[in-house]
Each structure stands twice: as structure tokens, then as C-alpha cells.
Amino acid sequence: MSEILDQLNEAQQQAVTCSDGPVMVIAGAGSGKTRVLTYRIAYMLSKGVDPFQVLALTFTNKAAREMKERIISLVGRSDARNVWMGTFHSIFARILRVEGHLLGYPQNFTIYDTDDSKNLIKHIIKDLQLDTKVYTPGMILSRISAAKSNLISADEYMLNSDIMDNDRIAGRPMTGEIFLHYRARCFKASAMDFDDLLFNTNMLLRDFPEVLLKYQRKFKYILVDEYQDTNHAQYLIVKKLAARHENICVVGDDAQSIYSFRGANIQNILNFRNDYPDVKTFKLEQNYRSTKVIVNAANSIISKNKDQIFKQVWTDNEDGSLIQVLKAASDTEEGTLVANSVFQTKMNLQLPNSDFAILYRTNAQSRTIEEAFRKLNIPYRIYGGLSFYKRKEIKDLLAYFRLVVNTNDDEAFNRIINFPARGIGNTTLDKLQLAAANENVSLFEVAASVSGYVPNLARSTSAKIEEFAIMIASFHAQLHKTSAYELGRKIASHSGLFKELAADQSEEGLSRLQNSEELLNALKDFSEKEESLFPGESDTEPEENREARSLDLFMQEIALLTDADSDNEDDNNKVSLMTIHAAKGLEFPYVYIVGVEENLFPSMMSLQSRADIEEERRLFYVAITRAEKRVTLSYAESRYRWGNLTMNEPSRFLEEIDETYIEQTTRRVQVKPSASSPVMQKAPVFIKKNLKKITDDESGTVASYETPTELIQPGVEVEHERFGKGKVLSIEGNGSNIKATVFFNAVGQKQLLLKFAKLRIV
């Protein structure tokens, strides 16, 4: 036990050893939050707490896996493996596998990912003959998700006059109707989406007191990571489960609550004391990650927020470099300046690319950064790109697996009934879908007896459909008799998928085949390993599954993986480009935060209320605290957004940083053409003669430049802050009234008064 505590500072020790009653741990950025949660569990197990009575909830499987490995190293595998540790969704899915029959779901229900849900909604919109440009699947799914996160069912949605009025005002009055159809189609397919895992667990605990009591008794100790990110549904489940013993420990940082758009409610952590008046609060305030400059600058920013739990984060690390601010005339120049800075820092200090991260508010900002990186041959990766399990060839094979596990899964059936091609066209599929809808049965059931359900089909077509159904049924019969790997390889081979992929000998085709082989490798690893990704499996897994690790268990694991759980080894030495939201929980030695401008960061959508502005400020705080050694901020005076050139002001957040921690020299990209440039070689002699020199600033970069009006002549190419690049057509007037007629590439011909135009020769 002393070995466990000796590795913690005093504040961490206090949080770890207070194991009974309600506890809240407020953990500043870089203060060892995960360590406290892990050591707290290890400490309880070393004191004799039954691991089966410990429930630990996280937000990613990766976090759960890392914590579990640490606990194993501290107390041994036998105890650690029996702790119920996993994401909210994985733990609740496991409970629903056991108890879901009370809600009418079979144990082998399918879990739909976002793509599955969007495809189903797309079919519903088509069936209802609605305009797909008005009722976009992504928007409808977002609306449904928000409702379910707030525990609003489809029926309650339809009865809520405020919600229905909002839909009518938005021009989408049929949203509730789509919601009703979506719920019915999911239930018919024995499927739940991610929101259903929370919604249905709440329903289970609300409507079946015996189930609630069972899990209240089971989970004597409950720990929740990143509590500030919980939504209303997660909050209520945790509150119900903890009500009997009240041995609940929540760990989080209100200053890092940035997911309100996903339903996260910061009030859950701010009001924790209201739910548990005798709560003991511990603050972890020592930052082990960042320099003093970074920590103090971040403190100066977040102190402007009104809604927060006060803490004073500090560090014993070195002072470090001041925060640099890079100013550019345009977003293109911003990309160039950032790329140059990364390149110079990397070369001067002999650093790997992986030491650098570029963070932005919106994904669209990556384009100019990517272009600048390509010019300098700086390797990079877009974090959160297409994950392995979202590739087409993988989703095709997984659709076969899904249908074998759950023959009611109509979305899986639709995807693979004619892939590889079996001569079953859309007209035939429409007939199958009509029969399934009329008889209220699954598409597979129609296919298994197609001549009875759809008697007017050609005999050859009926034979192909029945042959497909027999193949799936034969695989299903082997589900619990053979390992996931053996069955998966049979499916890949006998379905014709491998033959189809092998026929394409192009580089892309070979890559798709290799990806499919990699999925089978994953199946092999799964079949051979001793325990599941998800703890607590041992007492919920059916007896017949414990001998062979079956395909349905594998499908349950990967259905709950998120982008944050994927590791791409080939990306190890590349600069990371990502949104700030995606960067939460990560850290890098050198961090660049780009686009620090009003209406971009803070977002234009967040200027309507103090609460929204405070969330944007928390997002800025999160961005800065990702850095270990140096932070660089950049902004552009002009930027193309939605195809239009916009003029920008520096973000208010720049002014909120204590100037003590900012390097006073603001850098800017060189915009003055050199005498040897192609433009100047063709320029009139008097322009070359009058070209003014500009001095370098203290940092060694070139200061901003504005061309004198007397140098603006017909035929010269110029740039305007708002209108972009153009060519001078004519000059008229004299003195302070000189006007130039300029044809701009983006907006056409404009006449400008030169004393105000601030044109620059390019």
C-alpha cells in the first residue's frame, strides 16, 4: 500500500485515500487526473474492496484500457480484471445485453454507428417523400440525438409544442414523424444507436425497480472520469446507481468543459455539492506538463470566467519561452508563416515532427496549413481522419458479420444482399422491402421464404435470394460453435468478398484486400486473448461463449470503438493537425493555435450569451494547456470563409492573456516584392527607383508594408485587404483625390480612392 501512495504528491494522496462517501476531485490541466483515478482503484483493491463491486466509467476505451493496465501493474491481474471499467456506452451496453429483454430487445442486438443511423434516416426520408435538401440525414440525426440525450422519447417529442413549433419555424415540421419511424425501424431491426444505450439504460432503471436495486447493490463504489463532460442522461444514471451507498467519486475540471454541443452539461460538476452536501472536495493544482509561462498565461485567461470552481494551477517546471503571436495579412500567409516557424524550430532544435501540433477551431482551416506544409515537405496527418473501421471494404465485411449475429439487421441486409453482385437489383429489393413492411418482419425473414412473401419474382431471382439466406443461416448456426476468427474467415471466403477484392490488382485494390486481411488478424487476436476489452464480462457473458470467443462478442467490442481509440503507427513522426475539441486529453511540446480571430475564435455562433462565450474561453484554455514547452498563436487580417473574403479583428482572447507572458514583437509575413521578383522585373523604371526599403523588426522577420500611392500605375498587379488580388486598369485625378480603377479576380472591377485603399504591389 505504501508503494502506491509513495508515488503521489500530498494532494493526490488525500484524494486517493478518501475512499468512502461522495468525493469530487477537481483536477487542473496536467495535474495527474488519470493517475489519481487509477491509484484510487488500486488503493481500494489493496484495502480489500471486492473488485466486482467497483464501477469505473470513462469516455474512451483507450482510457479504460490504459487505466486497467496501470492497475494490473500495481495490484496484479486477478483483481484488476474483475473491475467493471469501461466507457459509459460499453458498460451500459453490457447491462442491456443482460437486461434488455425487459424492454423487448434480444441479447444480440446490433449497435448502429453514425453512418448506419444516417443511412436508415435517408431511407425514411425517401419513404416519406420529403425533400432531402431540407431534411438532411445529418441534421435530423443531430435533432434526434439531442432529444434522446435529454431523455425525450419520440412520443414525447411529438407532444411537446415548443419542440414542434421550433421544427415548423425551421421549415422541417416532419422531423418528429421521422423520429417516430426511426425509433420503430431500429426496434424492428433489434438495433440501438449510441444514444439508445443511454436512453434505454435510463428507462430500464426507471421502470424496473428490481433491476435498479440489483445494480445499486452490485456497484458499491462508483468512479467517473471527465465528469464535466457528462450529459443529462449520464448524470441521471450515475445518480441512480450511486443512491444506495453514495460512495461516488467524480474527477474532472470545469475549466475543460467544452462539449455542450454534444449535450455535456457543465452544471453537473458545478452543482455536485447540491446533490451530495457532505461531499469532500480535493483540488489537484500542480501542473506537471507545461512551463510556468504556459500555466500562468492559461490561468490569466480562465480567470475571466464567472461560472467556475476556483483553483490556482501552478508548476515547478522551468519558466520557458514567452507566447509568440504571429500576424498575417491573409489566411494563406498565416499558413506560410506557421509552416516556416515549424520548419525553423524543427531544424534549429533537431526535433521530430511529432513534437508539433497545429490546432484550429474549424476543420476548414486546415487547407491553407496543409498547402504550406506540402511546399516545405513537412509530413503531417489530419487527426480524426477516416478510421480503419469506417473504410468501405471493412464496413462491407462487418455488415456480413452483423447480419450473421442479428438476422433482423435490415441495414446490414441492404448493404450486402447484392455485394458481391448476385443479380439482385433495386427493383427486386424494393419488392422485398415492401413485403417486409406490410408483414412487419425483417428483410432476412422475407428472403428466407421469398417465394411465399413475393410470389411474382422470377424463379432465378428467387433462387439467388434464397441461396443468400441459406448461406447467412448456416453461418448463424455456427455462431457459438466456433471462434470469431474461424467463422469470420469462412464468411469472408464463402460470401465471395475475398474473391471480389483479389480480382482488383490495382494498388488501391491490393490495399483494400490487405485491410480486410487485417480485420481477420484482429479477429484472430480477439479469439486468442484471455479477456475482453471490457471488464466485468465474466459474469455477464453467456456460458456457451466462454469456451470460444465468438463473433457476436467481437462485434460488440468494435461497435463501441471511437476515433480516439485508434492508433496509426505510420503517423508516428508527423505533425498533428486537428480541431481543438479533438486535442482534448492530448499533449505536445510545441503547439500552434491558428485563426485566433473574432467571429472565428470565439465562434460567431457563441456571441449570444455569456455561457457560450465562457465555453469558448474554456476551449481556448484547453488549447493552450495542450503545450508542454511553447505556445504560438496566429491570426489573419483577412480570410476566405464560405467563398467570401472577410476582414478580421484579433480575438478578444488575445487581449485577455496577461501581457507579461507574451512576446511583444508581433511577426508578419513579408509582403513587399523584392527587386529581383518577376513582377518588379517587368515594372516601370520609376517604380523600381522609388521602391522603398523596409527594415527588419527585432525578431528578424519583415514588417508590414503599404505601397506609396505614387507607385500605383496602370498595368501594375496589386492586392487589397478586402478584395484580394487585381490589376490596375487606369488612374485619374491628382493630389489626395487620385482614384484607381482596378479589376479584382474575386469581385470584378472597382474604383478606389488611393489614399484610403491601402493597395500593395504584388
Catalytic sites, residue numbers: 33-34, 225-226, 256, 626
Exposed/middle/buried for 482, CB within 10 Å: 0-12, 13-18, 19+?
A: middle
- Taking the C-alpha atoms of residue 577 and residue 538, their distance in angstroms, rounded to an integer, is 40
- Taking the C-alpha atoms of residue 660 and residue 664, their distance in angstroms, rounded to an integer, is 9
Cell numbers placing 18: 478518501
Exposed/middle/buried for 426, CB within 10 Å: 0-12, 13-18, 19+?
A: exposed
- Taking the C-alpha atoms of residue 86 and residue 596, their distance in angstroms, rounded to an integer, is 36
**What SS3 state is found at 552?**
helix
Q: H helices of 313-389, where?
A: 331-349, 366-375
Residue type, 328: A
Contacts of 462 (CB under 8 A, 6+ apart): 450, 451, 454
β-pairing verdict for 760-761 and 717-720:
antiparallel
- Taking the C-alpha atoms of residue 51 and residue 539, their distance in angstroms, rounded to an integer, is 12
Vertex 457, ends 454 and 458: CA angle to 5°?
A: 155
| DSSP bridge pairs for 328 | 636
- Taking the C-alpha atoms of residue 217 and residue 706, their distance in angstroms, rounded to an integer, is 74
Q: Among positive and negative, which fits the CA dihedral 51, 57, 63, 64?
A: positive
**In 10 A of CB 632, how many CB atoms?**
24
Vertex 116, ends 110 and 119: CA angle to 5°?
A: 140
Contacts of 55 (CB under 8 A, 6+ apart): 84, 85, 91, 219, 221, 222, 223, 241
Contact between 443 and 450 under an 8 Å Cβ cutoff? The reply is: no
In order of 489, 635, 673, 760, the CA distances from 696 in angstroms are: 66, 20, 14, 18
| DSSP bridge pairs for 749 | 743
Cell numbers placing 368: 491553407
The values of phi and psi at residue 694, to 5°, are: -125, 145
Q: Is 595 left (phi over 0), alpha (psi -120 to 50) or beta?
A: left
The values of phi and psi at residue 317, to 5°, are: -70, 175
The values of phi and psi at residue 730, to 5°, are: -160, 160
**What SS3 state is found at 274?**
helix
Look at residues 502, 480, 506 and name the one whose alpha carbon lies nearest to residue 492. 502
- Taking the C-alpha atoms of residue 252 and residue 29, their distance in angstroms, rounded to an integer, is 10
Q: Among positive and negative, which fits the CA dihedral 455, 459, 464, 470?
A: positive
The values of phi and psi at residue 324, to 5°, are: -90, 145
Q: What is the DSSP letter of 561?
A: -
| DSSP bridge pairs for 95 | none
- Taking the C-alpha atoms of residue 262 and residue 279, their distance in angstroms, rounded to an integer, is 28
Cell numbers placing 593: 493555435
